[in-house]
Amino acid sequence: MKRRLIKPDSTPALSLGPESSTSKYNRVELRQEPDILLPRRSTYVRNGVSLLSRQGNVHSHGHYFMKVSIAVCGRFHFHNYIEKLDRAGILDTFYYSHKINNSAFSLSRGRAVNIWPKEYAVRAHAKFLKNRFSDLLYPAYHDLWQLGARSKWRPVQLLHVMAHGTSRQLVQKAKREGSIAIGEVVNTHPIYRERILATEEANRGLPRSKTINRQQQRLIEELAMYDYLLAPSSIVRDSLIQQGTPSDIIHVIPYAANVKRFYPLGQRQKPKDRLNILCVGQINLRKGQLYLLEAVKKLNSNFFHVTLIGKVDPQIESLLAPYRHLFTHIPRVDNAELNKHYNSADLFVLPSLEEGLAVVLCEALAAGLPIIATHESGASEIIEHGRSGTIIHAGSAAELANSINEIASFPEKLERFSVEAISAAARTHNWDQYVDKLVEVYADAYTRK
């Protein structure tokens, strides 16, 4: 069966005939609807035949319309673009979990199915049990979510899943029905991450913690089930390849920022009496804030002050004590207020030891905030070193201190980085561009199957 994919400004055609009985999709109902809308200037090939040329010429073969369902045990970043997929006519169902009063999506063609009981089970656990029995019970909460999704299930040609070790049953069901399964991996491979954190705990003299729990073990098993994987950075891709994932099934699409929510509030002023450094994210070993505080202590100047926004992991609370005079701690900030913090800071620093691609980097970039970040944070995907920010190696307070001091010594760098950051976010690192790239991955997977 040949499938045709057309340009957004082309006139949609209708499906021309029934599904072939020999197709891998003979158990999936294919609908007679307009073709999938693809970004301009894309080339797709099936069996050596170009389906869409860079000039936009479309072949007149029979075709079927592709529908995609997305499943995420939570909500993550999908709320930024799920309505765009719906308007394009691509989305069939969005299975997710969120609080009831904050879960509405304005979908005109697809379905939004909120499996909310899981959210309240998790919140009740956190309130009454804290961290006790989490390794035992959290997988049960995830299974509850899967049960709810299966009760509202509709077969589709392609299932896009947030790969968190929470959706194995859904992937198995989709695969039995002949669907393509794409897993979106948020962080590096659990074994890779385990090794990094074990080394850091040893260096800090901390007791060894268990990071590969039941959910992470489920994720490892789940990764082998997908036809294709999405990764937000080359760091994630490389960690998967190291653990045996074929490189040709991994697509890298960096995350983006909501440029309507995160943007410059005015002309940035050069710092005079103090350089305000901002870091956003849970305060723990993995995020590397201790290296930032060590770097500022090395600089030995009241000119530098750090603001840390995020909850403190009890594991490192005692390690923060020697640096209390160097930073202000804000445990939580509403998303609506976060843009003000990006705009009031002079420099954003993210010294992570491991990430997929921290979305806060995309947000800071969109707000025009100059950035220093580690390569391991995924920053290399969105920041051009020396042009829109500075990329450093993880785990070096000395290198970080030198980078901060250099920016303080040459304040014109702050202005240049800010201008380039705004331009980069508007041009390539927003959710509209992300959707274009995502649809290309869908189309490539669909036409290859």
Residue 386's Cα: distance from chain center in Å?
24
Report the relative pairing of strands 390-392 and 304-309 from DSSP bridges: unpaired
Scored b (16 or more CB within 10 A) or e, 50-63 reads ebbeeeeebeeeeb
Rounded distance between C-alpha atoms, residue 128 and residue 434, angstroms: 39
- Locate the domains of the chain by residue range: 68-256+431-448, 275-427
Among candidates 20, 341, 70, which has minimal Cα distance to 180?
70
Class of domain 275-427: alpha beta
Prediction pTM value: 0.84
CATH number of 68-256+431-448: 3.40.50.2000
User: What is the chain's length?
Assistant: 449
Q: Do 347 and 278 form a contact (C-beta atoms < 8 A)? A: yes
Q: Name beta bridge partners: 151.
A: none
User: Encoding tokens for residue 200?
Assistant: 């850091």
SS3 call for 283? strand
What pLDDT, on the 0 to 100 scale, is given for residue 14?
Answer: 29
Q: Do 20 and 26 form a contact (C-beta atoms < 8 A)? A: yes
Rounded distance between C-alpha atoms, residue 292 and residue 349, angstroms: 8
Q: Name beta bridge partners: 308.
A: 279, 329
In sequence order, what are the residues at sequence separation of 6 or more whose Cβ sits closer than 8 angstroms to the Cβ of residue 175? 181, 225
Q: How many C-beta atoms surround the C-beta of residue 270 within 10 A? A: 10
Q: Which contiguous run of DSSP H or E holds residue 111?
A: strand 111-114
CA pseudo-torsion sign 408, 352, 198, 317: positive
Domain 68-256+431-448 shares a fold with domain 275-427? yes
CA pseudo-torsion sign 127, 128, 131, 133: negative
What pLDDT, on the 0 to 100 scale, is given for residue 436?
Answer: 93
Give, for all 449 residues of the chain, the pLDDT tens digit. 444 443 333 333 323 233 333 333 333 443 444 444 444 434 334 333 332 323 233 333 334 468 999 999 998 899 899 999 999 899 999 999 998 876 678 899 999 999 999 999 999 999 999 889 988 999 999 999 999 999 999 999 999 999 999 999 999 999 999 999 999 999 999 999 999 999 999 999 999 987 788 899 999 999 999 999 999 999 999 999 999 999 999 999 999 999 889 999 987 777 778 999 999 999 999 999 999 999 999 999 999 999 999 999 999 999 999 999 999 999 999 988 999 999 999 999 999 999 999 999 999 999 999 999 999 999 999 999 998 899 999 999 999 999 999 999 988 888 899 999 888 888 878 899 999 999 999 999 988 87
Rounded distance between C-alpha atoms, residue 414 and residue 312, angstroms: 29
